[in-house]
Amino acid sequence: MGERMALTGNKCASYGAALCRPDLIAAYPITPQSSVVEELAGLVYSGALDARMVQVESEHSAMSVVQGAAAAGGRVFTATSAQGLALMFEPYFRMSTLRLPMVMAIATREMTSPETIWSGQQDAMSVREAGWIQCFCETNQEILDMILQGYMLAEDPRVLIPVNICYDGFYSSHLMEGVDVPSQAEADAFLPPYGLPAKLDPREPRSLDPMTPGELLTKYRRSHLEAMQAALEVVEEVDIKFAKAFGRSYGGAIEAYRMDGADYALVTVGGMTGAAREVVDALRGEGLNFGLVKLRFTRPFPAARVREALAGVKGFAVVDRSVSFGWDAGPMYVEACAALGGLLAGKAHFSAIGGLGGADLSVAQLAAAARRLAGAEGAGRMDTLWLSEEVRQ
């Protein structure tokens, strides 16, 4: 039997990883992720977790070490944030393009400069073209659950792509709330042991990643993209399997909340979703037909499900906790528009940006975004709404 405990988001990432029986963990501490590694190190050194813990001198080394272990067939884990992810980028990209499955937690954080250590999703969003699957969590329960689901997804023979489980720095990583922690037996029954189809073994020498000419490399890229699309189906399957095992379902690649017959929608990513649910309920109480689309997976982008969810609305706003420097908008707004294509015609829509660098994304701010939408029927693309303190008050 599992146990209900009060846990921070970071502890949920640690416990989730430990329940997956990793062979090797290598990580370097960085705010706000540090306590993920500290907890795992404690579990290993106390004997509670039978895994190899490698202390490294940087995130570049952390990813390189887990890469080697994954190539040898191990189940591996690491975690990072912001500047650590930036330093890791070279082996990070190689990890996905080697098609080595693993799970890495990202306690998301704003990117410097100006200097900051606080929350924001710019780090994870900035590496969304590095070939990893990316999932964003709303609650601490979801963090723990998605680490378990992440391994099942990454290791599926139709996928073989590493997975990022992302959650908001501080607003989730340091938030404490009640979580149902499965027992090891329950986790074992859900997640089978892992076997990589082709692995490095000194007794059977083979080469890994030789110099590859363009024609062949193109085939690798195409195969990776096709596996990404195949992963969308596997995400839904894993969600169903998880629900059968633990009684908790998250809806797969997106969650549509009160979208039946909705005229307007907020599209959210991560922890902001909880406050947005309250806004939707309050506006429904006023007779405004609002709903919510929670983007749970951003890579691969669940375009068909987003299109289906938003097809019937008169207007939508996408709330991003990061920016796309190319578009005067948030990145998930741009991608939602791309997913809708011709269905955008006649809708009011805009990008809302807030919660950068540790700033709050308050109920009042999300309500302000929603109300702007309700009064803008047929407006087409509207100016980007910056959710500043003035909007809140």
Binder among 77, 170, 194, 250 for other proteins (CB under 8 A): 170
Helix (DSSP H) and strand (DSSP E) numbers for the chain: 14, 15
Cβ-based nearer residue to other proteins, 149 or 362: 362
Q: Answer yes or no whether residue 258 interacts with other proteins by CB under 8 A.
A: no
H/E stretch holding 334 reads helix 331-340
The Cα 315–Cα 330 span in angstroms is 17
Dist CA 13 CA 211 (whole Å): 36
Quick one: tokens of 360? 């709050």
Q: Is 56 in the site for other proteins (CB under 8 A)?
A: no
- Write the interaction track for other proteins spanning residues 90-119; mark x where CB under 8 A is met and - where it is not: ----------------------------x-
Cα–Cα distance for residue pair 273/331, rounded to 1 Å: 17
User: What does each C-alpha distance from 111 to 327, 350, 364 come to in angstroms?
Assistant: 18, 24, 26
Residue 176 in contact with other proteins, rule: CB under 8 A: yes
172 lines the binding site for other proteins (CB under 8 A): yes
Cross-strand bridge partners of residue 26: 54
> Which among 168, 174, 172, 140 has a CA at the least distance from the CA of 82?
168
Q: How many CA atoms lie within 13 A of 59 on its CB side?
A: 22
Among residues 133, 275, 304, 302, the alpha carbon closest in space to that of 292 is found at 275
Which residue's CB is nearer to other proteins, number 334 or number 363?
363
Q: Which is nearer to other proteins, 50 or 278 (CB)?
A: 278
Pick the closest to residue 5 from 142, 168, 180, 263 (CA basis). Answer: 180
- Minimum Å gap between C-beta 204 and other proteins is 50
- In whole angstroms, how close is the CB of 178 to other proteins at the nearest point? 4
Q: Is 174 in the site for other proteins (CB under 8 A)?
A: yes
* Cα of 243 vs its chain's centroid, Å: 19
Q: Which is nearer to other proteins, 26 or 359 (CB)?
A: 359
d(CA 146, CA 154): 11
Number of residues in contact with other proteins under rule CB under 8 A: 25
User: What minimum distance in Å lies between the beta carbon of 233 and other proteins?
Assistant: 30
The verdict on 272 binding other proteins (CB under 8 A) reads yes
CB of 87 to other proteins, least distance (A): 22
> Kindly report the CA angle at 139 between 50 and 3, in degrees rounded to 5?
50
Q: Which residues pair with 19 in a beta bridge?
A: none
By CB under 8 A, residue 86 contacts other proteins: no
Neighbours of 346 (CB within 10 A): 11
Output the smallest distance, CB 115 to other proteins, in A. 11
Residues numbered 192 to 211 that lie near other proteins (CB under 8 A) are none
Residue 114 or 375 with smaller CB distance to other proteins:
114
Please identify which residue in 175, 196, 282, 288 interacts with other proteins, judged by CB under 8 A.
175
23 or 177: whose CB is closer to other proteins? Answer: 177
**x/- binding map, residues 311-350, to other proteins, per CB under 8 A?**
----------------------------------------
Which range, of 36-44, 96-104, 271-279, 333-341, touches other proteins by CB under 8 A?
271-279
φ, ψ at 129 (rounded to 5°): -105, 35
Q: Look at residues 149, 150, 169, 172 and name the one whose alpha carbon lies nearest to residue 161.
A: 150
For other proteins, give the closer residue by CB, 168 or 320: 168
Binding flags for other proteins, 362-391, as an x/- string (CB under 8 A): xxx---------------------------
Counting every residue written for the chain, the total comes to 393
**Binding status of residue 277 toward other proteins by CB under 8 A:** yes
**What whole-number distance in Å separates Cα of residue 70 and Cα of residue 268?**
33
Stretch that binds other proteins, among 93-101, 151-159, 175-183, 219-227 (CB under 8 A): 175-183
What does the binding site for other proteins look like in residue numbers (CB under 8 A)?
4-6, 118, 168, 170-172, 174-178, 271-272, 274-275, 277-278, 360-364, 392
